[in-house]
Amino acid sequence: MAESYRWLILLGALGLFAGGAASALLFARIPKLSDWLAHVCALLGNVALMAGAIIGFSAKPGQAVLFHGAFTFTDIVVRQSAFAAFFLFMTGAIGLLVSIYAIGYAAEYRGRKSLALLNAGTLLFLMAMAWVVLSGNVFTFLLAWETMSIVSYFLVMYEHEQDEAQKAGFVYVVMTHIGTAFLMIAFFLLQHYTGSFDFARMNAANMPIVAKSWVFIFAFIGFGTKAGLVPLHIWLPRAHPAAPSHISALMSGVMIKTAIYGFLLVVVQFLHAGPVWWGIVALTLGAVSALFGVLHALNDIDMKRMLAYSSIENIGLMFMGIGTALIFCSLRQPVPAALALMAALIHAMNHAFFKSLLFMGAGAVLSVTHTKNMNLLGGLIRRMPQTALFVLFGSLSIAALPPLNGFVGEWMLFQSMFALGFSGTNIGLHMLGILAVAVLAITGALVAMLFVRAFATSFLALPRSEAAEEACEAPLTMRTGMALATAVCLMLGVFPFAAFGAVRSSIQALTGADALAPNLFSPLFMASGSSKAAMGTIAAVLIVCSGIAWLIARIIGGKTKTTSVDTWACTNTLEPRMTYTASGYSKPVRVASRFLLKPSRRLIVDRNPKSPYFIRGYTYISRIPLVVEEFAYRPVMHLLVAGARIFRKIQNGQVQSYLVYLFATLVIVLFFTMR
Amino acid sequence: METILLQTAQIVLLVLFAPILTGVIKKTKALLQGRKGPAIMQTYYDLRKFMRKDAVVSKEASWIFTATPYVVFGATLAVTALIPVVSDHALLSFTGDFVLVVYLFALARFFLAMSGVDTGSSFGAMGSSRDMFISMLAEPVLFITVLVMAIPAQTLNLSAMVKYLATGGQHITPAYFMMILAFVMLLVTETGRVPVDNPDTHLELTMIHEGTLLEYSGKQLALLVWGSSLKQIILFALFADLCFPWGVATEPGLGPWLLGLVLLLLKMVGVGILLASVEMSYAKMRLFKVPRYLAAAFLLSLFALVTEFLL
């Protein structure tokens, strides 16, 4: 029964998105109606997506041809599996939260920009992301993939009058197309060896290892670009902050996860894993991304760029999980492979929720203070108490602190790295697992520092600018979106089993082992039975323990009074400029990671011309060079430009010579085909 | 029933004994310096005094400042339920509970660091920033050091690990000695002692952990001081149980438990005296020397693991 409804619901969702986008543009002249239509379609469409996904969790994989193209390989085929359902659910859930938030957030642009365009873009973006996951063959997939890229490009460029957006858009569109090119090569290679463009029949079990490895490399580059893995990340810290905040939330929360979906589809489902070095490559680059992302985030004062770098870090963690899973697949150990894969997917889901929550929070701050610079904020907890609470929960989640959802994924990742350290077959793999644990630990602590810094310097102490001084609470719809996200973070933290069930069957299909199998309840992974309620127990214990703390203090000390006075500032009055800024907070890390980041600083002293001893002001400029851009991308770009200069000689502007080129080409082609 | 009672008794014991341990360390330091020093029970008197005093809170502080002491003490108290102390059983134990222990400490640290910034005082913010920085360096050391013991025991469950070690598991290896050294270096860092931090002063040159407590007073200060001594005793107990697991009660019943208790107290006082003498023998190092110091500890534990795999 559910089978037949499934397609109806899912395609209905896509139709709602498309229809909403069309009607938003159609009625652009009637702003009220256009907005209303767009928002209603977004809400309904996301609810439908979630419903379809929930049915899909338990249903058998199904496939349907929507539209017959001129050739069989250009058919538009949709396919649905439990694995896709997981990502669909994520898209729908995040989409729903963000759509509610967008009702309030988009209003900020009213009168300045075309809201209809933004709303339509958002809807198309949601549609494209869902469609990527629903694709059933290469053609459909690439079509959806490109739609997603192009629509998100336009959304990044939405505020095109700003320099930031223009630069970001350019880098983004170039990188994403390079990525797509590699994907095409990967898929064509697959087709060559499997003889089918159809995902259902793409079984590359009999492919020669060398060809498999090529596919892996191309897929890794293609999907890694979209995911934002170092060194392919260069678009991400530019594009995510430039987009409107709710789009940033979707990009970080969902879009980069589609790359995880695609990567797993190609590497695990089609190729069935390969040599051990695949996993090692994924694990290593994941670890590099995690460290790189968090170090750069710590030295960024732009709230949204910091969150974007933090996305790179989280994608790194996911790839560490995936890499571990691939290593275990190569070693023919499906059980720990299933666990590692589950860790990556659960972390992906959790990241979607808390990262979109944090982006929404950053957007709320941005919309009332009009600044993203954390050094100019401060003291917002009094002015935006509810937003502060939500951002605090988001920060606690992302710092993987119990009993919130970030901890669950982190804990599973630790478990799978430990498993690698324990059961590696040779000392190299042992040490790899151990070092991965170390990287996870460092990253975890750095993320905690990052979000203490972000929260404390933006929301606590004193406001360091007019804008922060005059901030007020965000509108109700924005707060609702954030509140729901917070609730989900808590729920998934306390009852993680809800999420486990959602990925269990698809992981079983991918690796052939149950990630929650009884033999996993060995001492290495979980204690028998208690893991089901473990997180809930921890939450309860924490609450009880804090209560005990209060009781102890109360019983021993009796009732006491509290007086409030000014903060002691060495007999001066405390001024906002005395309070710690975000730049100051991360100074120790900058100093300690000097050999990696190579920061530079300049101090410009403005002296009084009459006397050098009186100083009117200091300007402090601190800069972190973008190492990857300068050492990897620039030389390649120079080579390309130099090469283009050489080839420009044949572009002489005369029609006759172009005709000669045409003729020569024709002759060559004929020569090759007539042989 | 009896086991549960004994396990709860472990927790109460830790909470009550924590301030004495701080007193022992202070007394030892004083004696080594040729001073009389405070009474061993002085920390108790201080705690009671703080508890009874009215609090003075900054006008700039938000609810986070108020909530922090309860969260810090609560999270640390929750850790006591997770670790095996006198016997090889913790009240709550599951696999990978060690990760939870680390992250509960992180939760406490997170809130403490936030409240350091909350008052707007630069002292607190500086302390908070440094505290997070040093924890970032110490965290991998903690993980790897415990892994050295987890690998031969083939488990990550702290209780099972201690059980394995206490019931004659493979123990005296080169790795073991390296691990002890790394663990001592880590204890010095995590309990905020010279040469990394100075526990006796609020001067800005030395303040890391103490800087974040600077603005607190009254009950809240009491809870934070108690909380940090509780964290100290937890780490000591872990150190004692993992490195010197002799006498840990592996059999049920009161007899072995009491024996384990006596031995544990002796071990902890021993570790306290050791740390006090370490504190006495070194001057505090510059903040930016700390990464090197902890890198050394990290490499030590890595070497320990390498020998473990090779031998």
Q: What is the pLDDT of residues B278-303, one digit of tens each?
A: 888 888 888 888 999 999 999 999 99
Chain B window 264-303: which residues touch A at a Cβ cutoff of 8 Å?
287-288, 291, 298, 302
Report CA-CA distances (Å) from B217 to B61, B192, B214: 13, 20, 8
A403-419 as b/e, with b when 16 or more CB fall inside 10 Å? bbbbbbbbbbbbbbbbb
Q: Chain B partners of A545 at a C-beta cutoff of 8 Å?
A: 73-75, 77-78
How far is A444 from B138, CA to CA, in rounded Å?
A: 12
How many beta carbons lie within 10 A of that of residue A533, not counting itself?
Answer: 14
A524 pLDDT band, cuts 50/70/90, is very low
Per-residue pLDDT for B277 more than 80?
A: yes
Most confident stretch, A522-531, A569-578, B131-140: B131-140
Q: In 3-state terms, what secondary structure has residue A552?
A: helix
Residues in CB range of B26: below 8 A, 6 or more apart: B37, B38, B42, B43, B276
* Preferred mutation among A294, A389, A440, A442 to probe B, highest tally of B CBs within 10 A: A442
Q: Chain B partners of A579 at a C-beta cutoff of 8 Å?
A: 117, 120, 122, 125
Distance linking the first and last C-alpha atoms of chain A: 57
A71: contact with B, CB 8 A cutoff:
no
Report CA-CA distances (Å) from A49 to A52, A53, A497: 5, 6, 21
Q: Which residue of B has its CA nearest to A426?
A: B309
Structure tokens belonging to residue A444:
């975890």
Of B52, B81, B305, the CB nearest to A558: B52
Cβ atoms of A234 and A312 within 8 Å: the answer is no
**Of A652 and A346, more confident:** A346
B46: contact with A, CB 8 A cutoff:
no
For residue A80, give the DSSP letter.
E
Give the mean pLDDT of A165-193.
Answer: 91
Q: Note whether B74 contacts A530, CB cutoff 8 Å.
A: no
Chain B window 107-146: which residues touch A at a Cβ cutoff of 8 Å?
107, 109-110, 113-114, 116-122, 125-126, 128-130, 132-133, 135-140, 142-144
Instruction: Tally A–B CB contacts below 8 A.
Output: 286
Summarize pLDDT for B221-255 with one digit per residue, the tens.
999 999 999 999 999 999 988 888 887 777 777 88
**Opening angle at CA A217, ends A216 and A223, nearest 5:** 85
- Nearest partner of A436 among A537, A542, A290, judged by Cα: A290
Element (H, E) at A617: strand A615-623
What is the pTM assigned to this prediction?
Answer: 0.93
Q: Note whether A569 contacts B121, CB cutoff 8 Å.
A: yes
pLDDT at A1: 53
Structure tokens belonging to residue B222:
């009491």
pLDDT at A607: 85
Give the mean pLDDT of A150-178.
Answer: 90
Of B107, B120, B310, the CB nearest to A579: B120
Q: Chain A partners of B150 at a C-beta cutoff of 8 Å?
A: 418, 422
Chain A window 581-610: which residues touch B at a Cβ cutoff of 8 Å?
584-589, 591-592
Q: Which residue of B has its CA nearest to A454?
A: B114
Chain B window 51-70: which residues touch A at a Cβ cutoff of 8 Å?
51-64, 69-70
Per-residue pLDDT for B84 more than 80?
A: yes
Residue spans of alpha helices (H) in B244-289: 254-281
pLDDT at B170: 64
B310: contact with A, CB 8 A cutoff:
yes
Q: Which residue of A has its CA nearest to B81?
A: A541
Cα B239–chain centre separation: 9
Q: Chain B partners of A531 at a C-beta cutoff of 8 Å?
A: 94-95
Task: Give the minimum alpha-carbon distance from B289 to chain A in angstroms, rounded to a whole number.
Answer: 9
How far is A334 from A341, CA to CA, in rounded Å?
A: 10
Cβ atoms of A46 and A92 within 8 Å: the answer is yes
pLDDT at A520: 41
Per-residue pLDDT for A517 more than 70?
A: no
**Of B256 and B128, more confident:** B128
Cis before A403 (ω within 30): yes
B105: contact with A, CB 8 A cutoff:
no
- Please state, rounded to an integer, the average pLDDT across all residues of chain B: 87
pLDDT at A443: 94
Cβ atoms of A305 and A248 within 8 Å: the answer is no
Give the mean pLDDT of B31-35.
Answer: 90
Q: Chain B partners of A404 at a C-beta cutoff of 8 Å?
A: none
Per-residue pLDDT for A422 more than 60?
A: yes
Q: Note whether B74 contacts A410, CB cutoff 8 Å.
A: no
How many beta carbons lie within 10 A of that of residue A658, not counting itself?
Answer: 13
* Preferred mutation among B12, B97, B132, B302 to probe A, highest tally of A CBs within 10 A: B132
Chain B window 143-172: which residues touch A at a Cβ cutoff of 8 Å?
143-144, 147, 150-151, 154-157, 160
Cβ atoms of A444 and A411 within 8 Å: the answer is no
Looking at the DSSP assignment, which residues form a beta bridge with residue A562? B55
pLDDT at A532: 43
Q: Note whether A396 contacts B126, CB cutoff 8 Å.
A: no
How far is B90 from B73, CA to CA, in rounded Å?
A: 19
